[in-house]
């Protein structure tokens, strides 16, 4: 056995990392604060280099069967009149029939099922303290359990607890992109199917998104705000009031969206932000996925970067003689790919959340002129990294 590694987080990056580390001979434990792998969730995209990761894991056919096949996006003016209807690929880029759009829960379930019998999963727990030594990391869990590992990897998301313990408070690495959003589900009373509808005024958007022809829609309300509303982060009532105050319009479905948001039992409120770290490791602890390089949903690439980053980290640990050189190789070979995809968020904000009347008018003009035929190529950032075939070194 090559060593004992603890991974915090069982969403996307964590199970991918666990799968490959097990393949390379490591003893792996995954700790997850939730009671189980989360099901459902909004659709996410897998494109470019990331497709190679799921293909090598043998789950690409399963994911293709779960593809939600969003066909069109319709953009609306403030009064609800139509600006344009375009193919999804016109906005996102990519190639019809190759790229994947699936429910987040379908992906996380597939990843978990691939590795659950090979590594240890500990649910309903999380890391409370990390004490690094020259030859080990002593970990205390919130349950009170204490264990020792050779390495610890934080794959625990945008608001990473591991990052906070080892690298310091999130604020120093957090880059606010100027928007807040609320997500929730609403009844599909409009009969939408395989499509999204996006209502805009400058700096604000109301979105309804239909996964296939199901009876529930994903609703989103997003708005520009100069500073993050820190006062609302731990106060759900304040979140609902803030969102409602930003959408006083009695146009289109906005009153209904606000009413549904006020009573939703699945409301998710957050800010649109990225994580930028000067380094992704410290001693025997490293970060991957959103914990290391969250790009925000405006990039459309958070899941894809997480898949690729976890694959690259596992390969680096398998092919380098020690963790120090492995972490350095992981960052050297992956950082440019992550940063290129983070940069897509600026383009995404102009498309989905135009901040000014001028930007909105230019976006609408471009939509009216856009072809509705599918594009035939990725955005370059999607495939900016070619997956290596790792040849593990002998056990350390």
Per-residue pLDDT of the chain (396 residues; tens, 9 = 90+): 589 999 999 999 999 999 999 999 999 999 999 999 987 778 999 999 999 999 999 999 999 999 998 889 999 999 999 999 998 877 776 666 789 999 999 999 999 999 999 999 999 999 999 999 999 999 999 999 999 999 999 999 999 999 999 999 999 999 999 999 999 999 999 999 999 999 999 999 999 999 999 999 999 999 999 999 988 888 999 999 999 999 999 999 999 999 999 999 999 999 999 999 999 999 999 999 999 999 998 898 999 999 999 999 999 999 999 999 999 999 999 999 999 999 998 776 778 899 999 999 999 999 998 754 445 556 889 999 999 999 886 554
344-352 vs 323-342: helix crossing angle, rounded to 10: 30
Nearest 5 degrees, angle CA 235-CA 241-CA 246? 130
Of 381, 374, 310, 341, give the one whose Cα is nearest residue 11.
310
**CA-to-CA distance for 325 and 134, rounded, in angstroms?**
15
Q: Which of 31, 111, 28 is nearest to 66 (CA)?
A: 111
- What backbone phi and psi angles, to 5 degrees, belong to 356? -130, 165
Q: How far apart are CA 383 and CA 181, in angstroms?
A: 29
H helix and E strand count, the chain? 13, 18
Alpha-carbon distance of 77 to 336, in angstroms, equals 38
**Looking at residue 42, what is its pLDDT?**
85
pLDDT score, position 61: 96
172 contact partners, CB below 8 Å, separation of at least 6: none
Q: Global pTM?
A: 0.93
Please identify which residue in the block is written with the tokens 């593809």: 67
């Amino acid at each position: 056995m090559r060593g004992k590694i603890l991974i915090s987080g069982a969403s996307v990056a964590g199970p991918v990392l666990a799968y490959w580390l097990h393949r390379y001979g490591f003893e792996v434990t995954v700790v997850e604060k939730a009671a189980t792998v989360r099901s459902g969730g909004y659709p996410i995209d897998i494109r470019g280099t990331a497709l190679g990761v799921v293909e090598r894991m043998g789950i690409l056919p399963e994911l293709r069967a779960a593809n939600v096949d969003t066909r069109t996006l319709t953009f609306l003016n403030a009064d609800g009149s139509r600006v344009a209807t375009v193919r999804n690929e016109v906005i996102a880029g990519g190639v019809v029939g190759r790229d994947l759009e699936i429910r987040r829960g379908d992906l996380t379930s597939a990843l978990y099922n691939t590795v659950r019998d090979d590594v240890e999963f500990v649910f309903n727990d999380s890391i409370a303290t990390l004490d690094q030594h020259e030859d080990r990391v002593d970990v205390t869990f919130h349950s009170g359990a204490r264990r020792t590992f050779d390495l610890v990897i934080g794959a625990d998301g945008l608001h990473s607890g591991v990052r906070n313990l080892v690298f310091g408070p999130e604020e120093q690495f957090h880059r606010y992109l100027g928007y807040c959003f609320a997500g929730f589900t609403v009844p599909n009373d409009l009969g939408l199917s395989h499509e999204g509808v996006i209502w805009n005024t400058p700096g604000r958007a109301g979105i309804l998104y239909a996964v296939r022809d199901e009876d529930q829609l994903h609703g989103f309300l997003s708005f520009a705000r100069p500073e993050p509303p820190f006062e609302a982060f731990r106060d759900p009532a304040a979140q609902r009031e803030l969102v409602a105050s930003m959408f006083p319009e009695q146009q289109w479905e906005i009153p209904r969206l606000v009413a549904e948001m006020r009573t939703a039992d699945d409301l998710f409120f957050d800010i649109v932000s990225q994580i930028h770290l000067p380094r992704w490791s410290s001693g025997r602890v490293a970060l991957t996925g959103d914990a290391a390089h969250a790009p925000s949903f405006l990039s459309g690439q958070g899941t894809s970067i997480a898949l690729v980053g976890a694959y690259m980290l596992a390969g680096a640990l398998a092919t380098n003689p020690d963790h120090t050189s492995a972490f350095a190789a992981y960052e050297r070979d992956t950082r440019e790919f992550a940063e290129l995809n983070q940069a897509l968020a600026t383009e995404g904000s102009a498309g989905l959340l135009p901040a000014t009347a001028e930007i909105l008018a230019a976006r609408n003009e471009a939509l009216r002129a856009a072809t509705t035929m599918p594009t035939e190529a990725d955005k370059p950032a999607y495939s900016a990294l070619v997956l290596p075939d790792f040849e593990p070194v002998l056990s350390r």
